[in-house]
Amino acid sequence: MKMMRPHSLPILLGLLLLAQSWGFPVFNKATNSRWNPSLYVASKEAPETSSETTIQLNPLLSSVKMSKTVEVMALVKQLQADGVEVTSLSVGEPDFLPPPAVLEATHKAVTDGELRYTAVTGTLALRQAIAADLERRKGVSYDPLTEIVVGNGAKQSVYQGVLAVCGLGDQVLIPAPYWPSYPEMVALAGAKAVIVDASVETGFLLTPDQLRTTLEANPKIKLFMLCNPSNPTGGVYSRAELEGLAEVLRDYPHVAILADEIYERLVYPPTDGDIPKEDWCPSFASLPGMFDRTMTINGMSKAYAMTGYRLGYVAAPARLAKAVTTLQSQITSCAGSLSQAAGVAALTQVPDEVLEENVQIMQRKRDYVLDELAKMPYVNLPAPPRGAFYVLPDVSKAPIYNGDDTEFCLDLLKQERLALVPGSSFGAPGCIRISYATSLEELQVAMEKLNRFLTNLG
């Protein structure tokens, strides 16, 4: 009998656990029954628990799913820890360090003893820097005393924005493809997500007609969640396209807008006409009549590569900002003082030219990935992404899989040691999400693996 390599068992267990978490059936052919790999892991690593426990989990958890991107990242790190070489394009995290001014400000904050709680809404210096940045670049004026709330990452700010507006029985309109956390946050608020599928032919951008039809058919919708630029598609709404949506929303004044603009500094020049740069990706709150109903989400993770600092914010009219502040005061209180000091430096000391250089680097990586995908069989991507650092190609025509993107990604990981996230996790079945926020060398290896895998399908 051929002996199993030492690192094969953890790989097998990891793949089976991931397959099971994605709803992929795992069977024991010997007993013709479903096999649960988590039982094996638990028996090895976790202490035994009494079967007579009466502790019951919150029923709300039955409606909430674990983040697939987090699951894939955890599996990749486990495989790498076990000595398995894995190429991963699954996580949206820049591969460069924060600017030197940010690192220096972090060190200075430590040595100066800025190690205490701040106001729940953040330090005044940071809120003033945020307000100045939004007015200078986006043309939107916020009062730093009452209309900006700094949180522990943009993700917290998004969730608190949902909680501030929505409750039991309410509905939230979410265009698909979407960031996987959106529907789960809505579920945690006791509300219901109304998913509207955008077309691959439009670059996955929601049309005004789709928005109006959905609002008309669902009068309980209280919140419209819009990610611009989009994770996972990289699609970008221009001013004209946002105006089309705003024109519809003016007929539904009871609907608030949560504008997730965390990627707004990572936008590439459009190829369809001479559009002024200020119209490439404007803030939704800057549109006529939209300020009083829009919660703008942003942060430092993507543009400044400050993912580990966990620093985001919501900018909103005072009434909505106060509601978010109330929630945050009972959840986490303030963001970290060191992170806030670094955030001030990011917004006041890092020149625009530095960020523009990073955008150009990202664009070159995007162009490389698009060129390589165009050579591969079974890949459909009619509209190239114009922002963020993601590509969401449609691979539903790949033989064998019949559009099953989960099985596709599992086999890709098993055969080529390439980790991607299934599009179904983002409300885009048949697609795969590629993050090109890594080195060009890593991208070259990844594209070779993906091309080989697709070509070998026949």
pLDDT tens by residue, 179-212: 999 999 999 999 999 999 999 888 999 999 999 9
Q: What is the pLDDT of residue 272?
A: 72
Closest CA to 98 of 379, 305, 266, 391: 305
Q: What is the pLDDT of residue 451?
A: 98
E strands present in 343-439: 390-391, 418-419, 421-422, 432-435
pLDDT in tens, 237-269: 999 999 999 999 999 999 999 999 999 999 999
Closest CA to 156 of 368, 386, 33, 324: 324
Q: In whole angstroms, what is the distance from residue 282 CA to residue 202 CA?
A: 19
Residue 121 has pLDDT above 50, yes or no: yes
pTM for this prediction = 0.87
Domains defined for the chain, CATH in brackets: 8-62 (no CATH), 68-96+353-455 (3.90.1150.10), 100-350 (3.40.640.10)
pLDDT in tens, 354-413: 999 999 999 999 999 999 999 999 999 988 999 999 999 999 999 999 999 989 998 999
Q: In whole angstroms, what is the distance from residue 349 CA to residue 390 CA?
A: 28
Matching residue, tokens 């598609």: 233
Do residues 362 and 389 make contact, with C-beta atoms less than 8 angstroms apart?
A: yes
Q: What is the pLDDT of residue 248?
A: 98
Residue 104's contacts (CB-CB under 8 Å, 6 or more residues apart) are 345
What letter does residue 271 receive in the DSSP assignment?
A: S
Q: Give the Cβ contact number of residue 181 at 10 Å.
A: 18
Q: For residue 255, give both structure tokens.
A: 């609907």
